[in-house]
Amino acid sequence: MLLTIAGSSCSGKTTAAHAATKIEGLVVHDFDEIGVPAGADTTWRQRSMEEWIQRVLRYQADGLDVLLTGQSPLGEVLASPSAVKLNGIAACLLDVDDQVRQRRLDDRDPGKWDADAKRAFIGWGRWHREHAVDPQHRPEVISAAGWEPMRWCRWNSWPATDRR
C-alpha cells in the first residue's frame, strides 16, 4: 500500500513522516531522495511519481507498505500509469497557514527565495487545499503540461462530494 503525505514546501511533511519511521512493516521515503534536477517541472514530477510507484510495488511484493512524502497531489498519484497495481492508496494533505509557510521558508533557507518564489510556494499550497476539497478545482494545473502516459480519467470526474 502507498500512503502519501503531500503538500507544498514547509508544511511539515518531513517532521510528520519522521514520527512514522518506527512503525513495523512501513518504509518511509521522501520523494526528493531520487534527486531533483535543475528546472524540475510538472512532467518530471509525474514521471518521478511513476518511478516511485514502481519502487512501492517492489516493497509491496515483500509485504511492506510505503509512506512517501512529497509535492504530488492525490490526482497525480491516481493518474500514474501503475497506480492501479497498488494494493491501496491513502493520501493526506499536510498544510499550514500562508504566513507560517512564508516564515518557515525564510527560516529554513534564509535569502534563498525571492518574493516570486515565495508566492509560488504559497500558490501551490492554496491549490493543494482546493484540490483536496474538490478534484474539479483547476485540474489543468497538473494535467495541462503533464506527462503523456498519465490517466487523468481515474479521478477528473469526481465531484467534491465523492468519498474517495
Question: Is 163 contained in some domain?
Answer: no
Predicted pLDDT of residue 19: 93
Predicted pLDDT of residue 91: 95
CATH of the domain at 118: 3.40.50.300
Per-residue pLDDT of 9-33, as tens digits, reads 999 999 999 999 999 999 999 999 9
Question: Is 161 contained in some domain?
Answer: no
Question: Is 164 contained in some domain?
Answer: no
Question: By percentage, how much of the chain surpasses pLDDT 90?
Answer: 90
Question: Is 160 contained in some domain?
Answer: no
d(CA 136, CA 124): 16
Per-residue pLDDT of 110-153, as tens digits, reads 888 899 999 999 999 999 999 999 999 999 999 998 999 999 99
Instruction: Give me the torsion for CA of 17, 6, 47, 78, rounded to 10°.
Output: 110
Q: Is the pLDDT higher at 60 or at 156?
A: 60
Question: By percentage, how much of the chain surpasses pLDDT 70?
Answer: 100
Predicted pLDDT of residue 163: 84
Mean pLDDT of 45-63: 98
Residue 105's domain comprises: 2-154
Count of domains for the chain: 1
CA terminus-to-terminus distance, the chain: 16
